[in-house]
Amino acid sequence: MADASYDLIIVGAGVVGSALAYGLSSSQPHLRICLLERSLAEPDRIVGELLQPGGVRALEELGMKDALDGIDSSPTYGYCVMDTKEGTQVQVPYQDGKIGACFHHGRFINALRAKVAQRNRGQLRAGGIDMLEATVSELITEDDAPDVVLGVRATRKTEDGGVEKVVYRAPLTVICDGCFSNFRNTVLGEERSLKPTVRSHFVGLVVRGLNLPYKQHGTVALVQGHGPILMYQIDTAGRGEDAPGTRMLVDVRNPFPDDLKDHIASQLVPQLPETLRGSILDALNDPGARLRRMPNSFLPPAPQHTFSPSHLTLPLYILYTILWPFISLFTLSSSIAQPAPATKDGKPAPSTARKRGVILVGDAYNMRHPLTGGGMTVGLHDAAILMRLLGDLAAPKHENLDILRTGCMRYFQRGGKCVSEPVGILSGLIPSPLLLMQHFFAVAFYAIHIMWTTPDAKTGKTRSALGNVVKGISVLRTACIVFLPLLWTEHR
């Protein structure tokens, strides 16, 4: 069985997975990212076709806004709500002239994956993305730590048409495998996992030449005795079509009618304005028309991880320790972690608790009704937040190392014992671990002194006293992380 190691594994190369992979790789080029997708063929689905302005903004933050170019997407400027009984309609434009986008889902996915391909590891000197076609079968853990995910086990096709099993390992795994996620229960734990609630289905078809009341607005028609009808333009006929295409989604509750086309034509179309009926009936009568269906799922979010003070950085840990007596007043005793049960042989029993080292994002984590058109927007927003958080975790380390490096150079420039003794240690003439520790922390504190007496390299401004203290503690913590494990290894 093949085995490969990465810094990050992302399961699912859909909207969220592709955008997250590209955003992280662009902001942190050193990362080695493995993006796994069951099939890299263009998907043919009726979900993920309307992107709200907030989603466009998140896409821009992730560096992928140009994925909307070249796919014949249609801008959208807001909504129109029609009450078919009263014969009234209300325009609801987006605030401040913001613009969303509508498109064919498969074209958008292909554009996102094309952007990901630009960050291919084979074309970059360090880091990058391996986008691989593979089916993930399970999350892998260690026997003595069943709650910590170390990677995934997958199968992929070989060049000769066979199938091979592969293990991909990484400190963090992100699950973006959509509404039918295979790993939701595993990550959240059986006791806390929720199942999507499906109360109806959207039945969709593409209608050509439909003149909506407000051009390039999502249109919601409220009809009597049935669920709402949603219509939005998904292309501009820029690829040789006869007329611009509009997606029509009809909410159909159970039990499903035997003849969907007849149900729509006889029960729903007559309630719509006359200006819309002709084009819709033409689309229904087209022998090549395809009626697609998708579940209208609702899945509330559930906590993915349990808080532990050990997860805090040193300054926050000190603050938490000071405030703990007050925090404990509002903390339930049931929140204290209980020891994992053991089997007869003393080994930990198979865990049903929430997993660490893994995150659910997008529809794999939570879903709202497709009528809101908010699924992709929420997923991309979460991807942007995750990109910033992971960047924030990495940035202080590199910034602190830069501060220590500057301190080291300035320390050597002092001359005398600041140079002779470190060189003696390096050359093996002064084999004293205690002296090494003395000079190492002298460099660390000298670096902090320089940092306190010089402006911030990024902003050019002097930090506040509190900012200097917090940053100094962070730099000292980094120095300890670098040096103490090495000292302990030698001491053992």
Residue 332 CB-density burial (10 A; 0-12 exposed, 13-18 middle, 19+ buried)? exposed
**Which one is predicted more confidently, 482 or 202?**
202
Q: Which of 293, 305, 235 is nearest to 46 (CA)?
A: 293
Count of domains forming the chain: 3
Domain annotation covers residue 87:
no
182 and 257 assigned to the same domain: no
- Asked whether residue 25 carries a pLDDT value surpassing 50, the answer given is yes
Give the CA-trace dihedral at 441, 447, 451, 454, to 10 degrees. 150
Residues 213 and 232 in one domain: yes
Judgement on whether residues 269 and 358 belong to the same structural domain of the protein: no
pLDDT tens across 133-177, in order?
Answer: 999 999 999 887 888 899 999 999 988 888 999 999 999 999 999
266 vs 313, more confident: 266
Q: Are residues 188 and 44 in the same domain?
A: yes
Q: How far apart (Å, rounded) are the C-alpha atoms in residues 10 and 401?
A: 28
Is the pTM higher than 0.85?
A: no
Per DSSP bridges, beta strands 163-169 and 218-222 are unpaired
Tell me the sheet residues that pair with 102: 50, 74
Residues 207, 188, single domain; the answer is no
**Does the residue 19 lie in any domain?**
yes
Residue 118 has pLDDT above 50, yes or no: yes
485 assigned to some structural domain: yes
pLDDT above 50 (res 188): yes
For residues 275-290, average pLDDT: 93
- Is the same domain home to 171 and 214? no
Answer whether residue 293 shows pLDDT above 80.
yes
CA dist list (Å): 127 to 6, 22, 259, 402, 467: 9, 12, 53, 21, 33
> What span, in angstroms and rounded, lies between the C-alpha atoms of 472 and 481?
14
Residue 335 scores a pLDDT above 50: no
Q: Has residue 214 been placed in a domain? A: yes
Same domain, 272 and 362: no
- Asked whether the beta carbons of 196 and 299 are under 8 A apart, the reply is yes
Supply the range of the domain harboring residue 265. Answer: 197-298
Rounded mean pLDDT, 463-476: 86
Confidence band for 307, pLDDT divided at 50, 70 and 90: low
Closest CA relative to residue 32, chosen from 65, 55, 10, 59: 10
pLDDT for 406 equals 85
Stretch 479-486: mean pLDDT: 79
Average pLDDT of 120-138?
88
Look at residue 424 and tell me if it is in a domain: yes
Q: How confident is the model at residue 490 (pLDDT cuts 50, 70, 90)?
A: low
Same structural domain for residues 407 and 280? Answer: no
What are the structure tokens assigned to 347, written together? 């080994």
CATH number at residue 362: 3.50.50.60
pLDDT in tens, 230-246: 999 999 998 888 899 99
The reply to whether 125 and 248 lie within a common domain is: no
Task: Judge whether residue 249 has pLDDT over 60.
Answer: yes
* 276 and 158 co-located in one domain: no
CA dist., res. 312 & res. 118, Å (int): 36
Residues in a beta bridge with 297 = 198
Q: Is 45 inside any structural domain?
A: yes
The pLDDT value recorded for residue 64 is 96
Q: Are residues 134 and 275 in the same domain?
A: no
Would 333 be classed as within a structural domain?
Answer: no
Is residue 387, in this structure, part of any structural domain at all?
Answer: no
Q: In 177-233, at which residue ranges do the beta strands (DSSP E only) sit?
A: 197-208, 218-222, 229-233
pLDDT in tens, 343-373: 445 544 545 567 888 999 999 888 887 888 8
Q: What is the pLDDT of residues 403-417, one digit of tens each?
A: 888 888 788 777 778
Candidates 421, 470, 415; CA nearest to 448 is 470
CB atoms within 10 A of CB 65: 14
Q: What is the pLDDT of residue 49?
A: 95
Would you say 173 and 9 are in contact if contact means Cβ atoms under 8 Å apart? Answer: yes
pLDDT of 28-85, one tens digit each? 998 999 999 999 999 999 889 999 999 999 999 999 999 999 999 999 999 999 999 8
Q: Percentages helix, strand, coil for the chain, rounded to the nearest 5?
A: 40, 25, 35
Whether residues 280 and 201 fall in one domain: yes
